[in-house]
A and B are shown apart, each in its own frame.
Chain A
Amino acid sequence: MIGPRIDLSEPGGIAVALLPELILTGWCLVLMLAVAWRHRDEEDQRFVGHLALIALVTTLVAVVWFWIRDVGPVGLEVMVALDGFRYASATIFLLGGILAVMLSLGYLGRERMVVPEYYLLLLLATVGMMFMGGGADLIVIFLGLELMSVSVYVLAGINRRSVFAAEAALKYFLLGAFASAFFLYGIALIYGSTGSTNLTFIYVQVTSLGLESNLMLSVGVGMLLVGFGFKVAAVPFHMWTPDVYDGAPTPVTAFMAAAVKAAGFVALIRVLLQGLAPADAVWTEAVWWLAAITMVVGNLIALAQRHLKRMLAYSSIGHAGYLLTAVASGTELGAAALLYYVFAYTLMTVGAFAILAASGRGGEREVLIDDFSGLAQRRPWLAFAMTVFMLSLLGFPGTAGFIGKWYILSAAVDADQAVLAVVLVGASIVSAGYYLPVIMAMYMKPPISEAAHETTRVGGAARWVVGATAALLLLFGVWPNRALDVARDGSRQLTPDVMVTVSR
């Protein structure tokens, strides 16, 4: 069955194709009015938060509708893509947004932060991510990246009473601007060598003009990789990550570690597969090394951390390495593995940060892994959920994290990158050294004091976040087939299916 086809060469067609983004942007404007109208106390803030939740859910409905009807383009994709990959990635971003909003509903009140604009910026960042995942043109992807980044810079520093949040925001802003400059320079060089910023057209030009090893194109791709490397926190461009993740409010950290990273990877693999697939000799090697170094360094430094928030920050660097392995394979199987892993990773990261947010006060910078001692005696369900998140991050069989890693491994082996697969397995074994102590502390050590865990509480919407993410991780761990099929369908034909006649 072939779904509706939209002609992207005329304005009406573009407007229909951008319907989900338009809905969410429209809601952003509504939220702005709501903030201007009511912005005094915690009650107003919760009202805006609920509006944001409605906004994300309605957008999700629109995306899923596009997906089910299998809406596609007539001919060339101009500016926006209309494929399963866009719908799948948008679903993941919206899910991440919904989870982050639900976490924030209780958190902001507890930390006495009354900034209703918080939800507006969260929505704007989500719009940016949707443009990153759905752009068929380098300019659209860049603007999406900037929209997301600008919103997240502010979100990182939104707690103005915290020095660490201010440091996080400034550091993130400066290094992010630096990365954006690299990104833009890369786009300019790619434009200079191919004469286009449209991904499919770049593909055609590279093939028909024989630019596979063109020097200007190679330098451009290298610059682009540096820019993406900063955004997804790949070693050696990861220096900002621990401080920024540490200083930002915990729901924002969860949003950054899950959705922002997912958006970077989705855009990266779209650019590489849809636009630069013929020039894969240029980037495969570079991504291979990035993946290997990121996995090794991220996991080794995480071993040395005693604070849970920093440990999760370094663990997210390690996970960037796993995802880069999927990218390095350079196949549609790799893209499918990436989609599945990003989905699972979003669930487990948000879940872990939700429990961290429940256990601490004042930004959770001081929560040690040992502070979880005896949690199983006092709060058995919370300890169980945390166990699921840790095992899933580790890639333990029975959880969605295992299926995702296994899928990445099979993509790597399929692309003749067995060495990278071995590094991935080795890094996962090392990661047991910092995920398991959390579980051991919860189940095998007695509580530090009588009063321990008295204040650990997941209230209201956050309880739903923890419950739903843990349940979904277990569900997709034992019954992954449907989700794997969806991911495979989503990344089919990411590489353009065009007949290129070589003219020379």
Chain B
Amino acid sequence: MSEILEIKEILKEQYLDMFDLKTVRPGIYQIQLPYYYPDGDIYEIFLQKEEDNFIIQDYGLSLMKLSYDTDTESDSKKELIKRILSENQVSMDDGNISVSTKVESLIPNLMVMTDTITKLTSLNLLNRKISKNPFYELLEEFLSSKFIDFGFEKKFLPAEVPFAEDYLPPMAITKTKLNVPICIFPIASNDRCDQVTITVQHYLLSKYHPLLIGIYDNMEDITPKKSAKVTNLLDKQFSYLNKNEAYITEYLTDKIN
């Protein structure tokens, strides 16, 4: 057997092993797919047959799960939830997220449902409070002392980005020769790294492309998986602030003048 066929077989076999369906109420089946929340609980997705169609739905359980640590009833969160659902073309009725599908589109629509739940789950990352770390203040002091004449802002909310206030506001230098601002994200923890990833993804989805820079307190403190994700999104990163000030100043000055 060729290598590609062998790998294909392994993947098919393992995926099928993780798939299951069980009756939870008469005519309502819970689908087990290999998609898990960060706490290890499986996504809760149900299937119901209605004449020639299937209804894929969650009976409100995704928002129930999100509500453990997120205020799902605030106006801004409601807007974000509405937007995620609209982008994925799924409906919501009193918290029940659902997709109606013909039998031939069942799997693609199940994927739409899992993708929707994944996006909803990421909303809780944005509310995490970040511990007070002197690094954030040090960086702010350093950048404002050097770039105050170039429109330095410590909490920048780009007007071009919808719902920017619901995401992490970067520091920014707004007067540059690039015709776009330089957005600077300080990163001193894994949670902050996740927040930067989500914020930058939102910028890019909104077709907003400033110069994106990450400055770490100490890059070695960040889990490699998390820093790899953000590395793919940022234009430039500095592993440390300490003893790197001259290099950072030189780089930013070059982009400004």
**Bound together:** no
B contact residues vs A (CB 8 Å cutoff): none
